Amino acid sequence: MLQVTGIGAAALLTLSACGSSDSGSGASDADSSGASSGKKLSGTVNVFAAASLKESFTKLGKQFEKEHPGTKVTFNFGGSDSLAAGITGGAPADVFAAASPKTMKTVTDAGDADGKPSTFVRNQLEIATLPGNPNKVSSLKDLTKPGQKVVLCAKEVPCGAAAQTALSASKLKLTPVSYEQDVKSALTKVELKEADAAVVYKTDVHAAGDKVEGVEFPESKDAINDYPIAPLKKAPNAAAGKAFIELVKSSDGQKALTEAGFLKP
Amino acid sequence: MAANDTVEGGARRRRGRVPPLPLLVPALVGLAFLVVPLIALLVRAPWAQLPEQLTSPEVWQALQLSLVCATLATLVSLVLGVPLAWLLARTEFPGRGLVRALVTLPLVLPPVVGGVALLTALGRNGVVGQYLVSWFGITLPFTTTGVVIAEAFVAMPFLVISVEGTLRAADPRYEEAATTLGASRFTAFRRVTLPLIAPGIAAGAVLAWARALGEFGATITFAGNFPGRTQTMPLAVYLAMQSDPAAAISLSLVLLAVSITVLAGLRDRWMTAS
């Protein structure tokens, strides 16, 4: 129910945003309202999305192509920061899905988003340990025990910032062996058994299958990352882009995303 | 006197001659291509905040670690690389071509691949590394030693190539003369060959040092990133770029300045060697 009103609100916001900036975007506005009322879509949809969305968005892309014959969804998965830099630099994208509000803000501040971004999923941290959890890690505090080789994401990237928030919320001091440059490299160090544990996203633990074991910890509730999505102003295929966002926020889309370990917004 | 005149006259003629356009234009474009990005760094540098950013303890820590690790990696490269170059240049053995190809492989390999290879070999769970742990209790990933190893892995081929080239250019008859006069082969190497190829070794060492200083991919993959222990300047630059591009530019300037200083300081040796 909440989602439906969310979409409605987003659509209204989009409309009003277009209304206030009346030059140029009028045409795409008309297209988008046409799209939601079932007008035929065609062409390529360019989606720039955070790397953590790879599996679920690829699945949704296939579904979109099936629902709208004649369309093709192409993805550019990468770090949210570099994707945002690409968009503000003029990359031809229709949709941007970021792993943090901060990276989305880069795009909205540059005036490149068409309307207000909306949160479509959230991601929670989890501890990834070696298979079978040989060191019996059951809480964030267990990671602070001496002798444990723990890797964290660097504070500069979203997963690292979230880990710091969780640690300071629980007043724990954790000295890792390394601050990794992104969430995947932190996870890889555990997969290779070079580290005993890493603090990563639930979705990453899920994607790693049985190569790591996930341990949930209550402090992760204090550091949940919102994932915002927005249509873009200079979109070459605005109507199809908006339709793709509708699919992501639909119950089908949400199902695919929660299956990958994401939380509902 | 007369000889001097001819030399100067020759130099004047060379200077006066106009280079052909099909060479001059790409040459200048090439120069611009290499220099403009560096000038852009200077243009965009946040000069006002520079003193504050550069005096932060993290920057000094990273710079210090970079200089120490690059120097140690160069020493490792010298100790292991000069004998290796000698072996390649002065001895015959089956499969020498293959060995040379293997030695130069890290030159063309993406450094990240080098890091992955090091991790699978020397990691805690690696092919060799698991015995280092169980027999000696040594783990290399996430340590400063790991940084030196990663840098040496990437930088040593530069030294080997440079020294091997110099050895091939040096006349082997001096060595042979020394051995016929009763010196052992090692003594001949130490007393005759080594002084003969010293400029080549110096050039190779500078090249290896500079490469080690800029090493990023293998280091972050094999040694990780921890301030004061494994975070070298290139890693600090990369992470700063994620959140504070201005800081990344400042850090890049430091690295640029250090590199230029060293290359300029050793220019004479560099020139005579090449």
Q: How is B47-68 classified by DSSP, letter by letter? A: TTTHHHHHTSHHHHHHHHHHHH
- Give A192's contacts in chain B (Cβ within 8 Å): 119-120, 123, 125
Strands A95-97 and A43-50: parallel
Q: By percentage, how much of chain A surpasses pLDDT 90?
A: 57
Higher per-residue pLDDT: B250 or A198: A198
- Least CB–CB distance from B225: residue in A79, A181, A195: A181
Cα(A189)–Cα(B272) distance, rounded to whole angstroms?
A: 46
User: Does B142 contact A194 at a Cβ distance shorter than 8 Å?
Assistant: yes
pLDDT at residue B14 in the model:
55
Q: Residue B226: which of A157, A179, A193 has the nearest Cβ?
A: A179
pLDDT at A19: 38
Query: How does pLDDT run across B171-182, given as a tens digit for each residue?
Result: 889 888 999 999
Model confidence over B22-38: pLDDT tens digits?
A: 999 999 999 999 999 99
**Of A156, A157, A194, which is closest to B141 when you measure between CB atoms?**
A194
Calculate mean pLDDT across residues B105-133.
92
Residues of A in contact with B243 (CB under 8 A): 156
The DSSP 8-state label assigned to residue B189 in this structure reads I
Contacting B with CB below 8 Å, chain A residues are: 79, 81, 149, 151, 154, 156-157, 176-181, 185, 189, 192-195
State the burial class of residue A128 (Cβ atoms within 10 Å of its Cβ: 0-12, 13-18, 19+). buried
Look at B225 and A179 and tell me if their CB atoms are within 8 Å: yes
What is the pLDDT averaged over residues B248-260? 88
- How many residue pairs from chains A and B have C-beta atoms closer than 8 A? 57
Q: Is the pLDDT of residue A18 over 60?
A: no
If interface means Cβ-Cβ distance under 8 Å, which residues of chain B face chain A?
Answer: 119-120, 123-125, 141-142, 220-221, 223-227, 230-231, 235, 238-240, 242-244
Helix (H) or strand (E) holding B91: none
Which helix (H) or strand (E) segment holds residue A217: the answer is none
Q: Is the pLDDT of residue B16 over 90?
A: no
Whether B40 shows a pLDDT value over 80: the answer reads: yes
Mean pLDDT (whole number) for B76-92: 94
B14: CB partners within 8 A, 6+ apart: none
Q: What is the pLDDT of residue B12?
A: 52
Flag if B124 and A179 touch (Cβ within 8 Å): no
Q: What is the mean pLDDT of chain B?
A: 87
**CB spacing of A178 vs B224 below 8 angstroms:** yes
pLDDT tens sequence across B144-156: 999 999 999 999 9
Task: Say what the pTM is.
Answer: 0.77
- Comparing CB atoms, the residue among B119, B125, B226 nearest residue A178 is B226
pLDDT tens profile A86-105: 898 888 999 999 988 988 99
Span A134-170, pLDDT tens digits: 999 999 999 999 889 999 999 888 889 899 999 998 8
Q: At residue B135, does pLDDT exceed 90?
A: yes
The answer to whether the Cβ–Cβ distance between A149 and B142 falls below 8 Å is yes
Instruction: Looking at the complex, report in whole angstroms how far the Cα of residue B230 sits from the nearest Cα belonging to chain A.
Output: 8
Subunit contact B123:A194, Cβ cutoff 8 A: yes
Distinct helix (H) and strand (E) counts, chain B? 16, 0
Kindly determine whether residue B226 and residue A177, on different chains, have CB atoms separated by under 8 Å: yes
Give the residue from B128, B243, B244 with the most A CB atoms within 10 Å of its CB, the best one to mutate.
Answer: B243
pLDDT of the residue at A10: 46
Give the residue from A106, A177, A184 with the most B CB atoms within 10 Å of its CB, the best one to mutate.
A177
Chain A residues touching residue B223 (CB < 8 angstroms): 178
pLDDT band at A123 (very low <50, low <70, confident <90, very high): very high
Spell out which residues of chain A touch residue B224, defining contact as CB-CB under 8 Å.
151, 177-180, 189
